[in-house]
């Protein structure tokens, strides 16, 4: 049962079956319908039915890539020998074959040159399994490209040594050419998928133009983990990156690298964002099978995949399963034993598609010339938690809603702008850490403290006091292509907050609550450096890392009421309509 709004009446519920469409008007006084109203209802019913019928022919797949990437050595632990690492991959192959699940194996260069891995992977059936490149750069690759190795070990995970960001654009091209030549000499073709925690835009574009790669992947959003920060980007699924910033979604086809970048690791949509607030490093709550309270826990895995399959995703949903061999088989075995039979069952039930990254990349490129709007929705959290969340992404912005303790908080808004450059596109990294950002408007992680969480909150004047609005369970719908609609029924006020998001705008309307005075307030936890430079009636201006940007109201006004409130957004005619396209 899904909710659908129509401006001529308050709410329509749509029951959608294969051949039956029933529309029931819930307007309180429906006995006095005129013939004109009945005609209007029939017309709206016909148009909606046609829309739903057209929409129903377009599949919204739930895609899983099982991606295991392979390193030859692990210098951080002497117990993790090359033999242990190899046996881990053997076990991964065995279990995937057992459940008839294909996937992608990505080879770091030193593993690529090892005869054992060559024999193992050459024996895998083509089409079901894919062999590609894992873009961490070990000593043999750097030296074969004629460059000096600066690492502490033969593989060094620091951003200025073991990743493409540590080399000049010309050096990157030499490194790529060496890898690609050796890969083709061994396997007879160039890899179609190249992934890493992060790859700079120059390298990606070079790989596309010269070697025609079709898919890439980078790390989930995280702050400081392993020294790598990727924060504020297209939260899940995939995007086409800007030619000058591999982490930034492009807004126009001419300015994008035509290689979709998929977000890795299956991030917990409820908890990952907040973990580690007030610390320099985040923890990890993902589908990775080595984490005992996430991908290695049956309850968490079943919950995650249920929400992944059933939640509204607009176009498609995506997650990556699998694990790098550095963690060893003993650590990941339990998680694999939980996840793989479940994925096989969901595949057999036609609820998920399990395929190689190359195939998903080709599908994405066939269906989308520019980055589509998508969402990841959690309608029911683990166990007795009442938390619910929606991550909305488009080529212009991302927005996260979190329902908690009866209230609703806009936890995150970041804008995307293809003109915002990454220093790593043209320059070498000068630190052993690496950072990628987009343009913050609301940051519920960086502007928070553990017991004082930042965000835009829904408030109203009740009995002369400003109070948080409280409501029930939201109804979330992606019936209309390119739009995500949310209906959140209020408790005491008996009205409904309706939120309508499309790729450029977010519209928020209060329906049925009379003359209630309501608004959105942004609050943060103390004296964080915020990007806001000017708060006008119709526009909020900001600057981040020398990039000027902002948001505008098409309906509603900004103000600065003082106190703890950074800014307030007030409605006009019970509606707030925000332009989040940053003028693009």
Position with higher pLDDT, 226 vs 488: 488
Q: Is the pLDDT of residue 9 over 50?
A: no
Q: Express each pLDDT in 28-81 by its tens digit.
A: 333 333 444 434 444 444 444 444 444 445 779 999 999 999 999 999 999 999
- 304/443 same-domain check: no
Q: Express each pLDDT in 280-291 by its tens digit.
A: 788 899 999 999
pLDDT for residue 32: 39
Q: How many residues does the chain have?
A: 584
Q: What is the DSSP letter of 253?
A: G
* Burial category of 455 from C-beta neighbours within 10 Å (exposed 0-12, middle 13-18, buried 19 and up): buried
In a domain, 78, yes or no: yes
Q: Express each pLDDT in 380-433 by its tens digit.
A: 999 889 999 999 999 999 999 999 999 999 999 999 999 999 999 999 998 888
- The answer to whether residues 86 and 118 touch, using CB atoms and an 8 Å cutoff, is no
Q: Is the pLDDT of residue 20 over 60?
A: no
Helix axes 169-187, 115-122, angle to 10 degrees: 60
Q: Which DSSP helix (H) or strand (E) runs through 2?
A: strand 2-6
- 262/342 same-domain check: yes
Structure tokens at 545: 């890392």
C-alpha angle with apex 281: 302 to 338, nearest 5 degrees? 20
- The answer to whether residues 71 and 85 touch, using CB atoms and an 8 Å cutoff, is yes
- 574/428 same-domain check: yes
The DSSP code sequence of 392-414 is EE-SSEEEEEEEETTEEEEEEEE
- 17/108 same-domain check: no
Position with higher pLDDT, 12 vs 556: 556
> Hey, which bits of 144-221 come out as E strands?
193-195, 215-218
What three-state secondary structure class fits 582? coil
Q: How many domains does the structure of the chain reveal?
A: 3
- 326/386 same-domain check: no
pLDDT for residue 519: 96
Q: Express each pLDDT in 103-130 by its tens digit.
A: 999 999 999 999 999 999 999 998 899 9
In a domain, 315, yes or no: yes
Structure tokens at 187: 């396997």
In a domain, 584, yes or no: no
- 32/109 same-domain check: no
pLDDT for residue 514: 79
In a domain, 228, yes or no: yes
* Cβ partners under 8 Å of residue 53, min gap 6: none
Helix axes 329-348, 298-310, angle to 10 degrees: 40
Q: Mean per-residue pLDDT for 327-333?
A: 97
Position with higher pLDDT, 131 vs 493: 131
Instruction: Single out the residue in 375, 409, 433 at which a domain terminates.
Output: 375
- The answer to whether residues 443 and 399 touch, using CB atoms and an 8 Å cutoff, is no
In a domain, 102, yes or no: yes
Instruction: Single out the residue in 375, 400, 426 at which a domain terminates.
Output: 375
- 368/443 same-domain check: no
Instruction: Single out the residue in 375, 408, 424 at which a domain terminates.
Output: 375
- 428/444 same-domain check: yes
- 330/208 same-domain check: yes
pLDDT for residue 57: 53
pLDDT band at residue 255 under the 50/70/90 scheme: very high
Rounded Cα–Cα distance for residues 203 and 206 (Å): 5
pLDDT for residue 1: 32
- The residue with tokens 């079956």 is 17
pLDDT for residue 44: 43
Q: Which DSSP helix (H) or strand (E) runs through 339?
A: helix 329-348
Structure tokens at 353: 């598609």
Rounded Cα–Cα distance for residues 195 and 200 (Å): 11
pLDDT for residue 211: 98
Rounded Cα–Cα distance for residues 245 and 542 (Å): 20
Domain around 498 = 377-579
pLDDT for residue 515: 85
* Cβ partners under 8 Å of residue 175, min gap 6: 137, 141, 142, 145, 147, 164, 167
Rounded Cα–Cα distance for residues 159 and 182 (Å): 24
- 268/393 same-domain check: no
What three-state secondary structure class fits 573? coil
- The residue with tokens 């990775």 is 288
pLDDT for residue 527: 78
Structure tokens at 567: 């800014």
* Closest by CA position to 145, among listed 183, 172, 168, 110: 172
Question: Could you give the C-alpha distances from 350 to 59, 60, 344, 427, in angstroms and in order?
Answer: 12, 12, 10, 46
pLDDT for residue 34: 43
Can you give the CATH number for the domain in which 560 is found? 2.70.98
Q: Which DSSP helix (H) or strand (E) runs through 11?
A: strand 9-16
- Any idea which of 178-187, 232-241, 461-470 has the lowest mean pLDDT? 461-470
Mean per-residue pLDDT of the chain = 90
Q: Is the pLDDT of residue 553 over 60?
A: yes
Q: Express each pLDDT in 555-569 by its tens digit.
A: 999 999 988 999 999
pLDDT for residue 15: 35
In a domain, 230, yes or no: yes
- 327/466 same-domain check: no
Question: Could you give the C-alpha distances from 95 to 334, 339, 344, 396, 511, in angstroms and in order?
Answer: 12, 11, 11, 40, 53
* Cβ partners under 8 Å of residue 396, min gap 6: 251, 415, 416, 503, 504, 580, 581, 582, 584
What three-state secondary structure class fits 17? coil
Can you give the CATH number for the domain in which 358 is found? 3.20.20.510
* Helices (H), ranges, 188-284: 201-211
- 193/252 same-domain check: yes
């Amino acid at each position: 049962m899904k909710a659908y709004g129509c401006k001529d009446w308050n709410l329509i519920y749509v029951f959608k079956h294969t051949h039956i469409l029933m529309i029931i008007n819930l307007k309180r006084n429906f006995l006095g319908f005129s013939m004109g109203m009945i005609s209007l209802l029939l017309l709206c019913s016909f148009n909606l039915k046609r829309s739903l019928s057209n929409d129903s022919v377009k599949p919204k797949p739930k895609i899983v890539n099982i991606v295991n990437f392979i390193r030859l050595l692990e210098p951080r632990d002497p117990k993790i020998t090359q033999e242990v690492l190899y046996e881990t991959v053997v076990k991964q192959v065995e279990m995937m074959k057992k459940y008839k699940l294909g996937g992608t194996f990505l080879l770091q260069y030193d593993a690529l040159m090892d005869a054992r891995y060559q024999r193992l992977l050459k024996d895998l059936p083509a089409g079901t399994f894919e062999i590609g490149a894992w873009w961490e750069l070990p000593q043999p690759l750097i030296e074969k490209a004629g460059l000096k190795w600066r690492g502490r070990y033969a593989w060094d995970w620091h951003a200025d040594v073991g990743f493409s960001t540590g080399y000049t654009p010309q050096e990157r091209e030499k490194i790529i050419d060496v890898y690609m030549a050796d890969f083709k000499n061994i396997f007879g073709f160039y890899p179609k998928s190249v992934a890493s925690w992060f790859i700079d835009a120059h390298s990606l574009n070079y790989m596309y133009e010269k070697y025609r790669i079709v898919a890439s992947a980078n790390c989930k959003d995280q702050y400081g983990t392993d020294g790598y920060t990727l924060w504020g980007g297209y939260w899940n699924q995939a995007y086409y990156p800007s030619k000058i910033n591999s982490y930034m979604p492009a807004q126009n086809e001419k300015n994008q690298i035509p290689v979709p970048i998929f977000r890795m690791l299956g991030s917990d949509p409820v908890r990952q964002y907040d973990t580690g607030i007030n610390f320099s490093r985040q923890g990890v709550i993902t589908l990775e099978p080595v984490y005992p309270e996430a991908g290695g826990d049956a309850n968490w895995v079943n919950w995650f995949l249920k929400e992944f399959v059933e939640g509204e995703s607009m176009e498609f949903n995506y997650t990556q399963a699998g694990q790098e061999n550095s963690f060893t088989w003993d650590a990941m075995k339990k998680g694999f034993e939980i996840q793989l039979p479940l994925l096989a069952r969901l595949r057999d039930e036609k609820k998920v598609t399990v395929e190689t990254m190359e195939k998903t990349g080709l599908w994405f490129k066939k269906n989308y010339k520019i980055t589509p709007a998508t969402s990841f929705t959690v309608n029911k959290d683990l166990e007795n938690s009442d938390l619910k969340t929606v991550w909305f992404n488009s080529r212009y912005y991302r927005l996260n809603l979190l329902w908690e303790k009866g209230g609703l908080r806009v936890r995150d808004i970041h804008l995307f702008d293809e003109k915002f450059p990454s220093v790593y596109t043209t320059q070498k990294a000068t630190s052993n850490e690496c950072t990628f950002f987009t343009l913050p408007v609301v940051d519920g992680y960086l502007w928070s403290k553990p017991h004082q969480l930042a965000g835009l909150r829904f408030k109203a004047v009740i009995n002369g006091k400003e109070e948080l609005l409280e409501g029930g369970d939201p109804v979330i719908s992606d019936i209309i292509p390119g739009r995500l609609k949310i209906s959140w029924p209020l408790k005491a006020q008996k009205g409904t907050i309706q939120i309508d998001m499309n790729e450029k705008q977010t519209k928020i309307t209060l329906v049925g609550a009379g003359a209630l005075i309501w608004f959105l307030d942004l609050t943060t936890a103390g004296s964080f450096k915020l990007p806001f430079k000017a708060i006008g009636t119709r526009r909020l201006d900001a600057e981040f890392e020398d990039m000027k940007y902002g948001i505008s109201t098409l309906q509603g006004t900004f103000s600065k009421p003082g106190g703890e409130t950074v800014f307030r957004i007030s409605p006009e005619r019970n509606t707030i309509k925000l332009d989040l396209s940053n003028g693009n």
